[in-house]
Structure 1
Amino acid sequence: MNKVQLAAGLLGFSALTLSGCGESAPTEEVAPEAVPGLSVTDGRMVLAAVEGNPAAVYFNLAYDGDRGLALNRVAVEGAEDATFHQYGEMDFQVEMMEMSPSPLKKGTKLEFKPGSQHVMATGVSPDLKPGGTTEVTLIVSGGDKLSFPVEILAAGDAR
């Protein structure tokens, strides 16, 4: 018997043995895209006036869950990269900077709005057009996710 026939025979025997015992191959469990107690409203993406510049994403977030979490990362469908940004002061000048992870505890409400906290989406696909929608995914500590749709607005539209 050559090595190929031996290997095939062993694989067949293994499959029969497992099915005979009522065991099945392990499956990977995928966590649902939801974070208990986390909700988002008023999601919108405002495209840049100049094509190729970053877009901004705004929304209202409320957390009423029992576990302490932190808002760690964000992804925007149709953008190469997305980060949380905020305005801060450095050397007595206000500037935009990347936001540190934001702790979330029961009762936390955050408003991501112009001139304040927001999501900066870079490398935005030209397929994303005003009047359409895209999906934003928030990733919290531990890797849980919450995805939600946002309306796409032109630069001059109401924010």
Structure 2
Amino acid sequence: MKKIFGALVLAVGLVTAAVPAFAAVELETRAFIEVAITDTNGVQSKELQPVERAQPGQEVVFVITYRNTGEEPAENLVVNNRVPKEMVYVADSAQGESALIQVSVDGNRFGSLQSLQVTEADGSVRAAKASDVVALRWTLQGAVAPGDSGSVRYRAVLK
């Protein structure tokens, strides 16, 4: 049976943000695929295009956009994103300008992938791998001014 995963499902309920009560931050998650484009001069480049359906083994780029819609700076903005269960996080693919990026293998404790461990069913402990990542966290450095926006992103492959 062929597994196809709709992009609209990916964007629902994946993102949360932690900000002070007086700040108003909107978040939007969108899913893209990277496509090679050749212009009229034969120059190749890559472009992100919205994904309607992903095929097993296909890499998807998740872009989480944040925007301060409030009247006060949003300080200490934290963007949390769960990796969809149908996806496998691509190692070292998380990006975010001026952000501390951490991952989690249990959805509770965050850190660098190298600092995390996984306890197997038999009780043995091993170093965490990218395929164990279930959530990502970006802690933005500095404040997001009223009206300002930005984005963070990561890549994952459909199982």
TM-score with structure 1 setting the length: 0.35
Structure ID, larger Rg: 1
